[in-house]
Chain A
Amino acid sequence: MRRLLLGLLALLWAGGALFGSPNPPHFWWERVPGYAALLGLGGAWLLGAGFRALGERWLQREECYYEERNFAARLDTPRPLAPPGNQRPDRGQNHDG
């Protein structure tokens, strides 16, 4: 299976090398046979291995990163607006004047 896939890729590369260059080329790399294959493979490795390794090292944190550090969350905790001694008694209570 792997050989079949490699053979197919080689065939595609050969086709690209023969027919895949723009005429006239805009840039120097378009003269390289099958340059698009290099862009695809190189780009995938650059992003999938290079950028990912850098990102994991420098940018990734635990999922609760913001929650743990979010001081503002304290503002969201409900607090009583009035002191407890200032509550009115129940309406059903019987008060005699």
Chain B
Amino acid sequence: MTAELFGHPAFLLAAAAVALPLLPLGARRALTVIAPGIALAVLPALPAGESGSVRFLGISLVLARVDALSLVFAFVFLAIAFAGNLYGWHRTRLGEQAAGLLYAAGGLAVVLAGDLLSMFGGWEVMAVASAFLVAAGRRAEARAAAMRYLMVHLAAGGALLIGILLVIRAANSTVFGELNGLGIGAWLVLASLCLNAAVPPLHAWLPDAYPEASPAGSVFLSAFTTKAAVYCLIRAFPGHPFLMWAGAAMAVYGVAFAVLENNIRRLLAYHIVSQVGYMVCGVGVGSALALDGSAAHAFCHILYKGLLFMGAGAVAQVTGRDKLIELGGLYRRMPLTLLLYMVGALSISGAPLFNGFISKSLVVAGAAEMKEGTVVLLLHLASVGTFLSVGLKLPYFAWFAQPAHGPRAEAPRHMLAAMGLVAGACIALGVAPQLLYSRLPYPVSYRPYAPAHVWEAVLMLAFTAAGFGSLRHRLRPHAALTLDADWFYRLPAARFVPDFARPLEHCLQALGAAVRDFADALAAAAQNPPLVLRRLARGQRAWNSADNPQARGSRWVPPYDENRQRPPVALTLLWVLTVFTALAFAFGAAAWCHRSGGKSLSRPSIGRAQRREVAPVAPLIYSLPDERNVVDPGANS
């Protein structure tokens, strides 16, 4: 078991994160890149099926369940951890480097977990580590957003834990499988997963927090939390009817808000909401094709969204700006960044020869196969909006729209190298879809490059571009804040929090002042214990303002002066003799008791045979082997 544990990719990353403080900066940078690389190499060696079982509080935890579905997610998590750390090579802060590795470790723990409690553990590691990544943006807004993010995710974590415990009780099993129809617990788990997948109206934490992180932090954030939630939805709620409509709605919701956005990273964050909508919709459709589509789209989305955040982060890093109204005319300063960004933009837009084309179409084809016309139309509309915002509006207003100015100043080489790697993967998967299709949970017979499908995509993109050409003056960004669902907890909370928090704050302040007074008094008394004790013995106050007129009111006593406050020698001798006499009597009494068998002093003892047998403490949660016949999306491995 120990060997299996040490070979677990999450353990490798967590161990690297723990080792980081011991290393100098150069070695730390190298380790953040090498650790995901080693884990990526180790991943195929993990034995198929369940391994790494440990018993904890009487519960059997399965830390590694390897099947087709978990492998798809684990592979891409490690790939983006590698690329993200290469992109963030310039980072110097230990906390940010360690948080990135721990966040990836938490994500891997979730997608490889074979039981619900291990999954929950990984989930909470992700929540805390990602909050650190948001706070690593270092601005006051970043810290405030990180606190909101943490509050939302801790609440979701609480709901998840309660739901999991109820599910375990209902199913009499801890196995992480399909949870449909397991009562209120399953609904709580679903609600928590929907929050983490950013399903509106539970999505506001995402566009609130992600743009505030550092450039490298945004790359990590775009990859793990929402996609781990999609993995869990595929595993636990395939075919849930609510998810199909929620996913289609969120796909359009995200693009509608992105059209209004001025901040480039917030615009991309809204497109995470939209793209995750495709995946959630695929889970809701529930057919083999749609579930494959969700897994494939998560895989591709992690790559191209990481690339887009890398491009936006490079612009922010070089120019120090991330608002479209402050950008423009960068095409001569950052042409390589533009080129690599456009690979991501065409991928997310579903252009042929890029990876978004081969994954998005699986979900749409899955919905079409089930004759869900409205859903298909909504997904097409989201696709149009994606190209409009990410493929046209953002690059136009960031790189063009204004005359070129300034000398060439590309992003640092490590950033460009990471972007180049991810862009190459996006194109390779777009050109050779079987590289991904052959690893999906169910066999795929879908042909993305059917002529009709290619024509449909090309036509839709070309006429969207035509629409943008006619609308580009209307789409010009302006400085504004767009109200979203976070309004419901940011403003009302801001009004109610003082009413509830002020009394609490006053109590805490009073308590703090009392503790401080006590510490002050103790410290002052320690300066001259004989004087304080003498005053107290005489019934006087320990602190006398006459001690020092300048320090009137303060708790201050004159320092100990051995010539004035030393007790007489005779008194000291008396104390010493008294103590020795008392000790001699105590030892004599003890010896007498020992000789007489101690009967007079000790109570009758309870013999070993008479001791009451104590029943072992019953485990709080008991697990039984899973006997339920569940549909396991990973069964194809």
Q: Which residue of B lies closest to A28 (CB)?
A: B373
Q: CB-CB < 8 A to A23: which residues of B?
A: 452
Minimum CB–CB distance from B151 to chain A (whole Å) comes to 12
Q: CB-CB < 8 A to A41: which residues of B?
A: 463-464, 466-467
Pairwise interchain contact A47-B490, C-beta atoms closer than 8 A:
no
Cross-interface CB contact of A63 among B467, B481, B516, B551, cutoff 8 Å: B481
B537 within 8 A of A: no
Cross-interface CB contact of A95 among B259, B480, B558, cutoff 8 Å: B558
B626 within 8 A of A: no
Pairwise interchain contact B462-A86, C-beta atoms closer than 8 A:
no
Pairwise interchain contact A82-B516, C-beta atoms closer than 8 A:
yes
A4 within 8 A of B: no
The 8 A CB mask of A24-47 against B (1 = contact, 0 = none) is 001101000010111111011111
Pairwise interchain contact A62-B459, C-beta atoms closer than 8 A:
no
Q: Which of B514-554 contact A (CB under 8 A)?
A: 516-517, 520, 524, 528, 531, 547-548, 550-551, 553-554
The 8 A CB mask of B465-483 against A (1 = contact, 0 = none) is 0111101001100011111
Pairwise interchain contact A51-B498, C-beta atoms closer than 8 A:
no
Find the residue from A8, A44, A60 having the highest chain B CB count within 10 A: A44
Number of interface residues of A (CB under 8 A): 61
B501 within 8 A of A: yes
- The answer for the CA separation of A67 and B564 in the assembled complex, in Å, is 62
Q: Which of B434-490 contact A (CB under 8 A)?
A: 450-453, 455-464, 466-469, 471, 474-475, 479-484, 490
B497 within 8 A of A: yes
Cross-interface CB contact of A47 among B384, B483, B491, cutoff 8 Å: B384
- The answer for the CA separation of A55 and B554 in the assembled complex, in Å, is 61
Minimum CB–CB distance from B252 to chain A (whole Å) comes to 9
Q: CB-CB < 8 A to A51: which residues of B?
A: 256, 259-260
Minimum CB–CB distance from A76 to chain B (whole Å) comes to 9
Cross-interface CB contact of B462 among A9, A62, A81, cutoff 8 Å: A9
Minimum CB–CB distance from B75 to chain A (whole Å) comes to 32
B555 within 8 A of A: yes
- The answer for the CA separation of A46 and B368 in the assembled complex, in Å, is 23
Q: CB-CB < 8 A to A70: which residues of B?
A: 490-491, 494
B380 within 8 A of A: yes
Q: CB-CB < 8 A to A66: which residues of B?
A: 481, 490-491, 494
Cross-interface CB contact of B481 among A29, A62, A87, cutoff 8 Å: A62
Q: CB-CB < 8 A to A93: which residues of B?
A: 550-551
Q: CB-CB < 8 A to B30: which residues of A?
A: none
Q: CB-CB < 8 A to B259: which residues of A?
A: 47-48, 51-52, 55
Pairwise interchain contact A9-B559, C-beta atoms closer than 8 A:
no
Pairwise interchain contact B467-A81, C-beta atoms closer than 8 A:
no
Q: Which of B376-423 contact A (CB under 8 A)?
A: 376-377, 380-381, 384-385, 388
Pairwise interchain contact A40-B452, C-beta atoms closer than 8 A:
no
Cross-interface CB contact of A44 among B368, B369, B388, B557, cutoff 8 Å: B388
- The answer for the CA separation of A79 and B462 in the assembled complex, in Å, is 60
Q: Which residue of A lies closest to B553 (CB)?
A: A85
B591 within 8 A of A: no
Cross-interface CB contact of B482 among A38, A39, A55, A75, cutoff 8 Å: A55
Pairwise interchain contact A27-B554, C-beta atoms closer than 8 A:
no
List B residues at the A interface (Cβ < 8 Å): 255-257, 259-260, 368-369, 371, 373, 376-377, 380-381, 384-385, 388, 450-453, 455-464, 466-469, 471, 474-475, 479-484, 490-491, 493-495, 497-498, 501-502, 505, 509, 512-513, 516-517, 520, 524, 528, 531, 547-548, 550-551, 553-559, 561, 564
10 shortest interchain CB distances as A-B pairs: A97-B558, A44-B467, A43-B384, A40-B463, A20-B455, A36-B459, A16-B459, A40-B460, A60-B480, A48-B471
A-B contact pairs, 19 of them (CB 8 A): A5-B469, A15-B459, A26-B368, A26-B371, A41-B467, A43-B467, A44-B468, A46-B381, A55-B260, A56-B260, A63-B479, A63-B481, A69-B491, A82-B516, A82-B517, A88-B556, A89-B550, A97-B531, A97-B559
List A residues at the B interface (Cβ < 8 Å): 5, 8-9, 12-13, 15-16, 19-23, 26-27, 29, 34, 36-41, 43-49, 51-52, 55-56, 59-66, 69-75, 79, 81-83, 85-89, 93, 95-97
